[in-house]
Amino acid sequence: MDGFASAAALLPAGLRRAAEALGAGERAVCEELRLRRGREATALLAGREYGLGTDPVTERDLRAVLEAATGASFHAATEQLRRGFLSAPGGVRVGVCGTAVWGEGGMESLREISSLALRVPRAVHGCADGIWTALTAGGFASTLIVSPPGGGKTTLLREIVRRLSREGVRVAVADERGEIADAWSGEPAFDVGPCTDVLTGAPKAQGLALLLRAMNPQVLAADELGGEADAAAVLAAARSGVRVLATAHGERDGAVSGPCRELTEAGVFRRRVWIEARQGVRRYGAEDLP
């Protein structure tokens, strides 16, 4: 799958031509395409944004991307917009900014859209090679992957899922945003292995609980654990004897969210993987936790 092509395909013609004019090497490392109303479009390359030389982005451009991402059913994507993003074909996540409409239950919708961030998805087979021995010594144990935003957590999680599944391990993926497997019409677009079951679109906590009950997994996987509900679902899985593979925002030696830290201190996660990026090159490490 060409993640860059999937992201560029969501752009209107003029912006798409500008994006596709990037060199092959630049397309290969492009992390995001960004559109901000009234400014030129940019590409995020190795952690830095570069202008694409376009005319200022218009409201019509932004609407065209949203319609392409939702199959012309923008209003049907209201629930996703409450979380600030849309899941689009090809595993592309479209982050959305604008004016929030707030209610008693939180953000109800977004209007006056001002900017979009199209995250380029990639499958990088082999990215776990350097840490595989450390991850599987004595058998795979519950593992937390940490890095700053945009550090490659989802890519590494997908590769670990694929490799575990190819070794015959039953893996169940709670793919809330559709970024891990990109399942459309029931079939994953990314290779997540032959023994992997995917639940797309459900909030992580509910998805993990459903998969635990319904699919008899040996490993449960989810991206970007956050609040107390996610932590409670992970704890329930651990108490059932199921191992968990998850990601969270954090630094190698820095803090992660309170709930994830509590899970680690409680011994739920037995290993931690960290990702560092230097000059666009990612470095991976794995360590056992006390």
CATH class of the region 129-288: alpha beta
- Residue 286 backbone phi and psi in degrees, to 5: -135, 145
CA dihedral 148, 151, 120, 53 (to 10 degrees): 80
Q: What digits encode the pLDDT tens for the residues 64-109?
A: 998 898 876 666 566 667 777 888 888 888 999 988 887 776 666 6
Domain 3-119 shares a fold with domain 129-288: no
When pLDDT is cut at 50, 70 and 90, the band that residue 128 belongs to is: very high
pLDDT over threshold 90, residue 55: yes
Please measure the distance between the N-terminal and C-terminal CA atoms of the chain and give it in whole angstroms.
39
Amino acid sitting at position 266: A
Write down the architecture of domain 3-119 according to CATH: 2-Layer Sandwich (3.30)
pLDDT for res 258 = 77
pTM of the model: 0.82
Nearest to 206 by CA among 230, 186, 173: 230
In the structure encoding, which two tokens stand for residue 121, read together?
């998805």
The 3-state DSSP class for residue 49 equals strand
Q: What digits encode the pLDDT tens for the residues 200-243?
A: 989 999 999 999 999 999 999 999 998 899 999 999 999 999 99
Proportion of the chain above pLDDT 70, given as a percent: 92
User: Domain-by-domain residue ranges, the chain?
Assistant: 3-119, 129-288
Amino acid sitting at position 290: P
Residue with tokens 């982050």: 95
b/e sequence 236-266, b meaning 16+ C-beta within 10 Å: bbbeeebbbbbbbbbeeeeebbebbbebbee
pLDDT for res 108 = 64
Q: Which residues pair with 85 in a beta bridge?
A: 95
Stretch 165-187: mean pLDDT: 90
